[in-house]
Amino acid sequence: MAISVNTNVPSLIAQNSLNRSLSAMEKAMQQLTTGKRINNAGDDAAGLVISENMRVQINGSNKAMDNVQDAQNFAAVAEGGMITIGDHLQRINELLIQGANDTNSVESRQAILVEVKQRLEDINVIAQSTQFNGRTMLDGTFGDAGESFIVQIGPYSDTQNADNPLNTLDISGAFTDCHLSTLGIGTTTGAAYDGIILPAELDPDDPAFDPTGDNFRLYMDTVQAAITEVTEARGLLGGYLNRMTSTYDNLTITVENMTTAKSRITDTDVAEASSEMIKQQILEQVSGSMLTQANQLPSLALSLI
């Protein structure tokens, strides 16, 4: 190796080596400090793009899980109202069967119909007070005019991901079938619910009151059909609830797997980063020592003059 005064090549080599070691050590320390392997786009451009796309899906799936839980709560409130209405209808049916027996006097039938009328009024209250977030569910106003009820159960819109039809779930059908204007036991105005009333011949307060066994049996058929309608609506709602439960479980697994995959790309491997930092610390010390010695080489030229 030639000894030069103007250009100290060994010193330049040692300086470059020292700078590389310091830069690598700084990067390893940053990764350990932040816990992230990718702290800027230059660390891993491709990894950054992939991880950000994963983050979109993870965040979207987490919010979709919240949506599913909200929809489950919504449906649970509606089903609670249906259960209570079904219980009232069952009791009304029992009373009508009792009243249809001709062993009853007019007074006995009138007493039976007083309870029937009270229970119908209770059903009216339930229909008008079963609400979630200000939306009344069972009085026929929900879903009128073709209104849909869509649950966003996926992280994408159907337009963004047309190949996956599971991003949304329309549960409008359950509420269309369960509101009381479809039960045939009350009166309606258009699609809205006006309240349940007794037929005139079974209403003790109506001038046309005529509590015969035949009239009891006629209304009994209507009430039994209403019980079937409520039961079928609950079954339909239960099907949607089961589907939402499956969707929630699937989203949970998706978030878990996507988070694990993203972690492998973006998170620091502490053992690897620690080893790298120690390695660069040693190289930094060696490079510093070599730089000191290289800087002394030009002075050696004086001894040769």
DSSP assignment of 89-114 equals HHHHHHHHHHHHSTTS-HHHHHHHHH
Q: Could you read off the pLDDT tens digit of each residue along the chain, which spans 305 residues?
A: 566 666 778 888 888 888 888 888 888 888 888 888 888 888 889 988 999 999 999 999 999 999 999 989 988 998 899 899 999 999 999 999 999 999 999 899 999 999 998 998 898 888 888 888 888 877 766 655 456 677 787 776 655 544 455 677 777 666 665 555 555 555 443 344 445 677 888 888 888 888 888 889 988 988 998 888 888 888 888 888 898 898 899 999 999 999 999 999 888 888 887 887 888 888 888 888 888 887 777 777 667 66
Alpha carbon 78 to chain centroid, angstroms: 18
Asked if residues 202 and 248 have their Cβ atoms less than 8 Å apart, the reply is no
- Please list, in sequence order, all residues whose beta carbon lies within 8 angstroms of the beta carbon of residue 116, skipping any fewer than 6 positions away: 92, 95, 96, 198, 202
Q: What is the pLDDT of residue 163?
A: 45
Q: What is the pLDDT of residue 192?
A: 43
Q: What is the pLDDT of residue 261?
A: 94
Cβ neighbour number for residue 10 with a 10 Å cutoff: 17
Tell me which CATH code domain 45-266 carries.
1.20.1330.10
Asked if residues 230 and 82 have their Cβ atoms less than 8 Å apart, the reply is yes
Which residue blocks in the chain are alpha helix, DSSP H? 9-34, 45-100, 106-129, 172-178, 213-266, 270-295, 297-303
Q: What is the pLDDT of residue 282?
A: 85
The residue type found at 226 is A
Alpha carbon 47 to chain centroid, angstroms: 28
- φ/ψ of 189, rounded to 5, equals -120, 105
Asked if residues 21 and 269 have their Cβ atoms less than 8 Å apart, the reply is no
Q: How many CA atoms lie within 13 A of 205 on its CB side?
A: 6
- Which helix (H) or strand (E) segment holds residue 196: the answer is strand 192-196
Q: What is the pLDDT of residue 174?
A: 63
Start-to-end C-alpha separation, the chain: 18
Measured between alpha carbons, how far is 277 from 280 in angstroms, rounded to an integer?
5
Asked if residues 211 and 201 have their Cβ atoms less than 8 Å apart, the reply is yes
Instruction: Tell me whether strands 150-152 and 135-136 are parallel, antiparallel or unpaired.
Output: unpaired
Q: What is the pLDDT of residue 283?
A: 81
Q: What is the pLDDT of residue 180?
A: 59
Measured between alpha carbons, how far is 19 from 24 in angstroms, rounded to an integer?
9
Q: What is the pLDDT of residue 142?
A: 64
Domains in the chain: boundaries = 45-266, 269-305
Q: Is pTM beyond 0.85 here? A: no
Q: What is the pLDDT of residue 232?
A: 86
